[in-house]
Amino acid sequence: MQNVLSVCVYGSLCDSLCLFASLQSLPDVLGSHLVRVQVKACGLSALDLKLLGDVGIQKDLIPVGREVAGVVLQVGDKVSFFQPEDEVVGILPLDSPCSGLCDVIDIDEHYLVQKPEKLSSVCVAGALRDGLCAYTALHTHARMAAGHTLLVMDGASSFGLMCIQLACYHGVKVLTTSHSPQKHTFLEQLRPSVAKVIPVYNGSSDLLPVVLEETGGLGVDIVIDSGVRLHEEESEDTKLLPHKHDIISVLGVGGSLDCRLLHLKSASVTFLNQEVWMASSAQQGRYLHILKDIVEKMSTGVLRPQPEEPVPLYEATVAMETVQRHQKKKAIVQL
């Protein structure tokens, strides 16, 4: 048996989390379809404990760090996609027994794709999940096509940036909002450029009139939001979020986002849960195709993520705590 250091999180569905490190063992004999990977970088995203409970994952120890990039050390006897020394990237399943913060992990080959040589492990581990979310939102749900008009809320976020770049590549007209003067400047300097950057950090409520002006009064075809607020909600956490009514109002007829207004526009609302790709083996082929397309677009510069500076392994617990408390959206650990 081979012992590896794993960083796990202990918690319940309602209590606060406590991070600690533990030793885990890997078997000497590798499973038939398993790939043993030496992890080079791991992305940390906030745990959705409510989702884990909803899908029946009830355990005290929940490994953290699921987006991984590394090098293949060993493959099972029925593995057909990889061989030792291949560079790979993937997302561990929700019920994974091991953490991506382990030095070495065993993972089913159907959760991995080849990493292009010119793409850094830190970059892809930090952006893969956001790329998957953007792809799912725009292609799978919204059926994005050239000539559509898209509004991306908080376009300077890592997820928002992936949406903007993917949409621009497919010939979509993109409008976006900015949450600070620095983010506004960043978004205006993007290439390919967006049609309009709308500031929402100065307390103004110009979203609806600006969108209608930019679209000739028609509204947009697709809205990607990062949360909304009701009119009575005015807390510090929600002040930059748009009102629900404004989001629905900017949609054009037949667009994708009171139900009565959606009905009048023949519009629809969909909810983004990227975990559905791993919920059924029937989706594995499509899921791997999406992952391959994402890393290829990163390699060729179509998608240009702005990853966080990586932290060393000994700072992983502190980094995960800041992510879980929503003080930052993402952290990357370099092993």
Taking only the tens place, the pLDDT of each residue in 136-160 is 989 988 899 999 999 998 899 899 9
Q: Indicate the length of the chain as a whole number.
A: 335
How many helices (H) and strands (E) are present in the chain, helices listed first?
Answer: 9, 15
Tell me what percent of the residues of the chain surpass a pLDDT of 70.
Answer: 78
By the 8 A CB rule, do 269 and 255 touch?
no
> Residue 103: what pLDDT?
87
Q: What is the pLDDT along the chain (335 residues), one digit of tens a residue?
A: 555 555 555 444 444 556 666 666 777 778 888 999 999 999 998 887 777 777 777 777 778 888 999 999 999 888 888 999 999 999 998 888 888 888 888 999 999 999 999 899 999 999 999 999 999 989 988 899 999 999 998 899 899 999 999 999 999 999 998 888 999 999 999 988 999 998 888 765 678 888 888 888 888 888 888 755 555 555 555 555 656 656 666 666 555 554 555 666 666 677 777 777 776 677 788 889 999 999 999 999 999 998 889 999 888 888 888 888 888 888 899 98
Pairing of strands 311-312, 331-334: parallel
Secondary structure letter of residue 229 according to DSSP: B
Closest residue by Cα to residue 305 from 201, 221, 190, 226: 190
> Residue 42: what pLDDT?
93
Closest residue by Cα to residue 92 from 114, 110, 73: 110
Closest residue by Cα to residue 297 from 124, 125, 139: 124
> Residue 164: what pLDDT?
95
Q: What is the largest CA-CA distance in the chain?
A: 66
Closest residue by Cα to residue 71 from 57, 82, 56: 82
* CA 177 – CA 240 distance, rounded (Å): 10
Closest residue by Cα to residue 65 from 124, 132, 6: 6
By the 8 A CB rule, do 250 and 211 touch?
yes
Sign of CA dihedral 58, 59, 61, 67: negative
Retrieve residue 311's tokens.
């932290």
> Residue 240: what pLDDT?
55
Which residues have C-beta within 8 Å of that of residue 154, sequence separation ≥ 6? 160, 176, 177, 178, 179, 226, 240
